[in-house]
Structure 1
Amino acid sequence: MSTTESQPTEADRVPTAAAESPSTAPPPPTPSPPDAAGDQAVRETLEDYTLRFAPRSYRRWTPMVVATTALGGIAYMADFSIGAGIALAHGSGNALVAIAVAAVVIFVTGFPLAYYSARYNIDLDLITRGSGFGYYGSVLTSVIFASFTFIFFALEGSIMAQGLLIGFGLPLWLGYLVSTLMVIPLVIYGMKALSRLQVWTTPVWLLLMVGPLVYLVAADPGTVDAFLSYAGTDGEGAVDTASVLLGAGVCLSLIAQIGEQIDYLRFMPPKTAANRRSWWTAVVMAGPGWVLLGALKQAIGVFLAVHLLSQAGPVAATEPIRQFQAAFDAMMPSWLVIPLAVVLVVISQIKINVTNAYSGSLAWTNSFTRVTRRYPGRMVFVLVNLGFALILMEADMFSFLNTVLGFYANTAIAWVVTVATDIMVNKYLLGLSPKQPEFRRGMLYAVNPVGVVAFTASSGLSIALYFGLFGDTLQPYSPVAAVVLAFVLTPLTALATRGRYYLRRTGDGIAEPLLDAEGNPSGTVYDCHVCRRPYERPDVAACQTHGAVVCSLCLSTDAVGDHVLPAAFTKL
């Protein structure tokens, strides 16, 4: 398919060309290798679109299949440990209130991010670039998100190793290695393989998780009273602000989970009048709605910990494998107890850790490629992420779980709240941030002070509070500080800079709009003159020197800036 010239719409536009409509365009082919500098990146991202917009030609799943796949990724067992740990320290009442507070914050901040991903088919890093951070400014948050994925991979790998120890007598160090290596074959193939895995394993996982709880409550209703009245190790149990905030801070470390949900939601089909209801249901359910299931698992963790505490002590009460071993033991023959508990743990670990490895590799790849303008391959970063996770497991990270999560929560909260505030307030209330997301190199400033200042200040102060630099009395308020400062500083910085640093250019040199008549990303296909492959409209821009079109991947790997459009005047 060739292109024909179209007229520029502003003085500094470069003539470019639109191609045939998406109704007649085939899915992206795999032609013979071109002589482009970014060819390796192009070849290796045709399956999962690592660095770019997910094209309409690839997004063939229904909204419910995408939602089921996304929700399959939250099958992690760490929720049970998190809930148990909070309850043992502060009592069931404080734990349940803390879980509820964190769930509300996560739902509210996750909604705009999920909507933007599903509507415009981009991941959280690409959203972050155009929502206050700039093209290079979001590298910092990509590293934070990558850290989230290997921290939680380590937690889930540790839980699986505990299951392998109980079920097969496998030493923990070997269990850590097995839980790390087994996900590599599954994560290589991207969304297609992951969607099949999550859809087929979710019903089994739900049955094994919910069944024991229902049985215990039905068989002995008194367990509910014991669960609700548990006072914690300090013996007080009364609901108080400090205990709730300390618990909520641990739960809020999961706020970055929205990034992994978005890695699936970006494959949502276009929103139309025909699928409007199912589209919105899928976005809410698999986007911010993940936290409802997460909060339920944390509450179940509290219940199972209290149930197990008198039998096995506080250490075992926080281990999911022992929690479910005790629950299964109450309802079925002894010979079946350990096998079922191990099956539940292994299924959960596989479901979440393929997502952790996948999402982490995307985050590392995005950061490395932008900074170095080189692409070593996504699988390199799968191995990097797994290496970090294995080190944490071997260092027995599970034994200081809540400390690690409490610290990490401060940076994760600052990042997500900053981006969510930019979308909700700066874009829709103040009109200072462009509503249409932008992620392409050359269209954005390198660094936007709106997001960078808000994130740096809110995370820095909340971390200082967390480590007690302002006294023990204020220490529990570190997550509150992260939320409030990010929410306040994001619009204040935008007002102070008058939105000057969002867009480096107001046009990309192509006359056709980025969105179609229904507000979905246009499916019109253009040929990139560098890598000679077809890309849809949102993924291309005019080339500075060749009077043609270049894709976002080739822009990312352009070492000399030969294809990057010059800065255009932006109205102050």
Structure 2
Amino acid sequence: MSSSEQPVGEVQVHPQPAPPGSGPWARFVTWAGQDTIEDYSLRYAPKSFRKWSPMACAITALGGIAYLADYSIGASIAVSHGSASAVVAIIVAAVTIFLTGIPIAYYAAKYNIDMDLLTRGAGFGYFGSTLTSLIYASFCFIFFALEGSIMAQAMKLALHIPLALGYVLGSLIIIPLVLYGMTALAKFQVWTQPLWLVLFVAPIVFIATADPKGFNGFLTWAGDGGTERVTAIGVGAGAGVALSLIAQIGEQVDYLRFMPEKSETPPWRWWSAVLAAGPGWVILGAAKQICGAFLAFYVAGKVGFTAATEPIQQFLGGFGSVLHNDTVALAVATIMVLLSQVKINVTNAYSGSLSWSNFFSRVLHIHPGRVVWLGLHIAIALALMLGNMFAVLNTILGFYSNVAIAWIGAIVADLVINKPLLKLSPSYVEFKRAYLYSINPVGFVSMMVGSFFSILAFYNVFGDFMAAWSPYLALALAFFLSPVICILTKGKYYLVRPNPIREEIEKEPLWAGQTLLDIVDQKRYELPDMVHDCPFHGGTISSLTCTLTKCHDLCKTSAYIDSVTTATLRNAAEPQPTT
């Protein structure tokens, strides 16, 4: 298709020039120009591409939470602190994750942007959000490695495949499924969801039917070194591990950004999808964690405390309570594990590729395509698997949650306090480089301070109690400091200059689907994706052209802003011609 035939609203990235020939780099550049592969990894998801219904977006987003790390997390908490503390900790963490997820899901779905773009405009600034891109990318590859480890454990037990080879196989099978982004993932998640739901409830139903006494003593189980009763330290430490999943809202948002226009969708349908696929994931997530804690209790006497945290052993025990044939039980358990892990790792890989794309495009001003960063992401996760990160699961997740929750706390404070109440943050979410300060101290400083003190607490600087509750220290500090810094700076560091296009769209949402010409690549882009004046290129450009241009932020210089302001005032002062 020639440029003149390019459909309105269909966008292509600006790849770096490829070397002559048809080598791998040229292939990546070709892929980078295909929207079904690129999936708008660096920008706003245009209205013309969002062809899915609210229900389709919700099912696709919820398909990604089929992961079995919840079973391992719940089991690890119960083994370490006892079942009673584990159940309370899981509920406390779930309530926290649900409440913080509501505003994030709403703004991402309304403005059709991913977590990275939302972070830029929610108090972090253009380069300030590069750090959070790394935090999010690390979440994706940590959990890709965790889920891959669980898959390899199943392959070893059922097929006698060595763990190292299982790690490699489990990583490679994900690539073709993620290659075509939302277009392929929507179909895959919808088709596999019914089978997964049946297998999800089966172990508990089987035990309740065949061995109802197996539930006796669960809530008083002390695990390996825990206690029979609920303790403040046990709840805090357990909630800290569960809170490592708070960044999961970013993966939900990666699908919610393809929601149809809020103004053109029945409110109940739009809100139902946003709440179910956004914060609603944690309801099923908490249920899986509690199931994991119970299944660990159920099988620990047979397989030991260490193996009891492995989902394949948990499902083998659950299915085996009815399927008394070990071979059949192992086959069903293996199908459950492999299906679950593929469903979640396509999401981990997809979201990771988006995050790496955003990070490197800002730091290096290059974008060879999402597929390149997909390869990098899987390579890092594979290295973690080969390093046996599963053995130190609680330590990794406990440390990570201190940083992740400070990031989420700062964003939520901006969305629920600074924007609607203080009105010092713009009512809309601005993500384009041309209008943002490089670093906004409102979110960036809040996150850094919250992370710093919570990590000190995590390493027992403030005593055992604060060590257990360190993630909540991070959340409280970041949430409190964001509006305080916003008031002190009077919201100065959100916008370096106004965006008249966005301001007009806020008044008339239907204009969002209109297009403007990017004078650099001569393609048309929808208005929310456009920069209205670029002095470097001399006209309107898309957000992607703006990201990849090495212009030293010419449009943000005082001289240029002053000249534009002076011209605007002069035009306003001139008498208007009469008709």
Same fold (TM over 0.5): yes
**Could you tell me which of 502, 522, 529 is aligned with 1:539?**
529
Q: Retained in 2: the 8 A contact 1:25–1:525? A: no
Give 1:559's match in structure 2, choosing from 550, 558, 574.
550
Q: Which residue of 2 aligns with 1:199?
A: 190
Matching residue within 475, 487, 490 for 1:498: 490
**Does the CA contact (< 8 Å) of 2:518 and 2:542 recur in 1?**
yes
**Higher mean C-alpha deviation, range 98-107 or range 461-470:** 461-470
Paired residue for 2:289?
298
Aligned residues: 544
Does the CA contact (< 8 Å) of 2:407 and 2:447 recur in 1? yes
User: 2:115 touches 2:254 (CA, 8 Å); kept in 1?
Assistant: yes
The amino acid of 1:57's aligned partner reads: S
Counterpart among 323, 343, 360 of residue 368 in structure 1: 360
- The C-alpha deviation readout for 1:16-39, integer Å capped at 9, x for no partner, is xxxxxxxx9745277999999xx9
Distance 1:415 1:102 in 2: 16
Matched, 1:86 2:80: no
1:508-547 aligned within 5 A: 508=500, 510=501, 513-515=504-506, 517=508, 519=509, 522-545=512-535, 547=538
Aligned partner of 2:569 in structure 1 is: none
Verify: 1:550 aligned to 2:541, yes or no. Answer: yes
* Residue ranges of structure 1 left out of the alignment (5+ in a row): 1-23
The verdict on how the C-alpha distance between 1:27 and 1:34 changes in structure 2, with shifts beyond 3 A counting, is farther
Describe the SS at the equivalent of 1:442. Answer: helix
Matches within 5 A, 1:115-130: 115-130=106-121
More helix by share: 2
Structure-2 change in CA distance of 1:171 and 1:33 (3 Å) = closer
Give the secondary-structure state (helix, strand or coil) at the position aligned to 2:434.
Answer: coil
Equivalent pairs: percent with the same residue? 49
Instruction: Tell me how far 1:112 sits from its aligned partner.
Output: 0.5
Of 273, 276, 281, the residue aligned with 1:282 is: 273
Instruction: For residues 74-117 of structure 1, give each alpha carbon's deviation from its aligned partner in whole angstroms, at most 9, with x where no partner exists.
Output: 11101001000111111111001000010011011111000011
Alpha-carbon separation, structure 2, partners of 1:406 and 1:176: 24
CA separation in 2, counterparts of 1:218 and 1:69?
32
Report the AA paired with residue 260 of structure 2.
P
Structure 1 vs Structure 2 CA RMSD? 2.4
The one-character-per-residue Cα deviations of 1:251-306 (angstroms, maximum 9, x if unpaired) are 00000000000000000001246521111100000000000010000000011111
Separation in 1, partners of 2:494, 2:395: 36
CA separation of 1:144 and 1:35: change in aligned 2, threshold 3 A: closer
Match of 2:427 among 430, 435, 438: 435
TM-score by length of 1: 0.91
CA positional deviation for 1:565: 5.9
* 554-563 vs 100-109, greater mean Cα deviation: 554-563
Matching residue of 1:168: 159
Secondary structure at the aligned position of 2:496 is classed as coil
Residues 95-104 or 337-346, more deviating: 337-346
Q: For residues 462-486 of structure 1, what are the alpha-carbon distances to aligned partners after superposition, in whole Å with 9 as ceiling and x for unaligned?
A: 1111112233343112112111101
Does the Cα contact within 8 Å between 2:114 and 2:250 map onto a contact in 1? yes
Given residue 411 of structure 1, which amino acid in structure 2 is its aligned partner? V
Give 2:369's aligned residue: 377
Task: For 1:208 and 1:337, locate their aligned partners in 2 and report how far apart those are by CA, in whole Å.
Answer: 12
Higher relative contact order (CA 8 A, sep 6+): 1
1:178 maps onto 2:186 in alignment: no
Q: Aligned-pair distance for 1:221?
A: 2.7
CA distance in 2, matches of 1:78, 1:53: 31
- TM-score, structure 2 normalization: 0.90
Q: Is the 8 A contact 1:544 1:562 kept in 2?
A: no
- Residues 511 and 349 (structure 1), Cα distance of their counterparts in 2 relative to 1, 3 Å cut: closer
Q: Which amino acid aligns with 1:531?
A: D
Distance in 1 separating the partners of 2:90 and 2:14: 53
Which of 473, 479, 493 aligns to 2:471? It is 479
CA shift for structure 1 position 445:
0.4
* AA aligned opposite 2:153: Q
Mapping for residues 464-475 of structure 1, pairs under 5 Å: 464-475=456-467
More divergent stretch after superposition (550-559 vs 323-332): 323-332
1:523-571, Cα deviation, whole Å (9 max, x unpaired): 0011211111111010001233355320000000111258846564799
Per-residue deviation, residues 316-349 of structure 1 (Å, max 9, x unmatched): 1100001001111111252321111111111111
Query: Gaps (5+ residues) in structure 2?
Result: 1-5, 19-28, 566-579
Distance 1:413 1:493, change over 3 A: same
Note the C-alpha offset of 1:218.
Answer: 2.9
The one-letter code matched in structure 1 to 2:460 is: G
Q: Do the aligned residues in 2 keep the contact of 1:35 with 1:531 (CA within 8 Å)?
A: no
Report the secondary structure of 1:514's partner residue. Answer: helix
Instruction: Find 1:142's aligned residue among 114, 121, 133.
Output: 133
Deviation at 1:219, TM superposition (A): 2.9
